[in-house]
Structure 1
Amino acid sequence: MREAGCDRLVFSSTGAVYGNAGRDPIPESAAGPTVNPYGRSKFMIEQMLADYRAAYRFNSVCLRYFNACGADASGTIGELRDPETHLIPRALMALLGHVPDFAIFGEDYETPDGTAVRDYIHVDDLASAHIAALELLLKGDAGGVFNLGTGTGYSVREVLDAIRAETGEAV
Structure 2
Amino acid sequence: MTRRILLLRHAMPDASPNSYPDAWPLSDDGAAAASQLCGRLPANGVLASSPELKARQTLEHATGRHADVVVDSRFAEVRRPDEPFDVGFRDRRFAWIVGQPHPIHELWETPEAAASRFQAGIDAIDGESVVVASHGMVLTAWLIAIDVVRPGIEAGRFWSTLSLPDLVEVPVP
Which TM-score bucket, shorter chain as reference? 0.3 to 0.5
